[in-house]
Amino acid sequence: MRGADAPPLITVGEVTETSAVVWARWDGLGPVTVEYRARGGERDDLRRAAAQATAAKDFTVKILLTGLSPFTAYEYRVSAGGFAVAGHFRTAPPPGRPEPVTFLWSGDLGGAGHCRDPREGYRIFAPMTRLAPDFFLFVGDTIYADHRCRPGTVPGADFAAQTLREFRLKHRYNRADPQVQAFFQATAVYAIWDDHEVVNDFAGPSERLMPIGRQAFLEYWPIVPLPEEPGRLYRRIPWGQILELFVLDTRQYRSPNSMADGPGKTMLGERQRRWLLDGLAASNAVWKIVVSSVTLSVSTGRDHRDGWASGSTALSAERSPSGFEHELQMIVRALADLRIKNLVWISADVHHAEIIRYRPRVDFTFYELIAGPLSASRGRPRPLDQTLSPVSLFARGDFFNFGQIALDAHGLTVRIYDEGGVPQFKHTIAPQP
């Protein structure tokens, strides 16, 4: 892996209009220092913050930068043990300011043995860096803790994690890739987990590895949970007047997949579900984007359904033995009744790219945008669950890919890019008045 003679690993994330979190890991005890200023600013404007790396958190630190100016490019320099790494990021616009925004999303890194290439690493991150997005949404399966790497890949992750040390090593393996580092040093990241951060198709309350998988995830991402809820991962991210993101945790509170669908079965838990509905109802953003690590209508799971969809054409006890459609229907009905406009869900998980339009009622239309994998087994499109009346506008599953979303006053434009950065599909959605 890495020794104390290597520079620190860096990730910048959780950016708001006035703050950001610099995450770093260095193989050694001692201080980690961040110097930062508005890009192109004067030397006298340089500010400093620091934290102490200790073994208790695997030598990871999170340094909160506060008092930043909205919608401003910042440059920073992280120093540790005589090494220094430089990067940059942009803060969000203030509320009410209609600035355009462009971001990328995808998921699924290092699955089914598709680990780091010795020559090119995770090469899909190079074109992502060239696109220079405002931020990146890492929508689950940021590692494959339960998969072994193939022979011929960079050594260091050829095991299925069972201990906290092994979960940490899985995160460190992906983070240390040079292409990943180049991207994360120059792009703010918001990450959420899915199942492979712990084990395939897990349900949090009943999975014995969940607590240590969650600990490693929190240690290795710039997330700073609320003190009163130290394990909370779901959160909202406002980005000026144009956009508000609602990032869901679809793992920590869910009922077992094997449970028959019905009123007592939940993926989100009552508290998170109410938070989502209340937040969407109160949002003044033009576009409301819900980030779900599992898909709405693409059926997943082997013995039991793991995503929202049951795979049936209607919700009934006989035809929907598993899945989470009862809760999904409850959410969709509430959103339709609230007349939520310009609603988009983005997801990953299924290892293919797809753009889906839903019209569950004549007066309610929304979209789901699916991307991935970054580097994992290549999936394939499959018949969609018909409960929400989906129409597939694009579906392809034979390639590594990521998505780009550009938002401005004229609408939302989504593009799907392949591993080389070549666009494969483009679609524009006009905003509803």
Whole-prediction pTM: 0.96
What tokens appear for 23 in the block?
């995450």
Q: Hey, what are 389's tokens?
A: 């009346």
Q: How far apart are CA 306 and CA 32, in angstroms?
A: 41
Which residue from 413, 360, 429 is spatially nearest to 388, judged by alpha carbons? Answer: 360
Cα–Cα distances (Å) from 287 to 370, 409, 430, in that order, read: 17, 10, 11
Distance CA 300, CA 347 (A): 13
Pairing status of strand 30-38 against strand 47-53: antiparallel
Nearest to 394 by CA among 335, 340, 353: 353
Distance, CA of 60 to CA of 313 (rounded, Å): 47
pLDDT given for residue 4 in this prediction: 59
C-alpha distances in angstroms, 343 versus 106, 340, 412? 19, 7, 11
Domains and CATH numbers, the chain: 1-91 (2.60.40.380), 96-429 (3.60.21.70)
The bridge status of strand 243-247 relative to strand 47-53 is unpaired
Residue 229 φ/ψ, nearest 5 degrees: -135, 70
- In this structure, are residues 140 and 107 in contact, taking their beta carbons and an 8 Å threshold? yes
Hey, what amino acid is at 37? R
Q: How far apart are CA 112 and CA 259, in angstroms?
A: 27
By C-alpha distance, which of 90, 32, 93 is closest to 63? Answer: 32
Q: What pLDDT score does 310 carry?
A: 81
Contact 324, 312 (CB under 8 A): no
CB 13 within 8 A of CB 23: yes
Q: Residue 182: which of 87, 84, 75 has the closest Cα? A: 87
Q: What pLDDT sits at residue 28? A: 85
pLDDT mean for each 10 residues of the chain (433 residues): 72 98 93 94 85 95 97 97 95 96 98 97 98 98 97 96 98 98 98 98 97 98 94 97 98 95 95 98 97 95 86 48 89 97 98 98 97 97 92 98 95 98 98 91
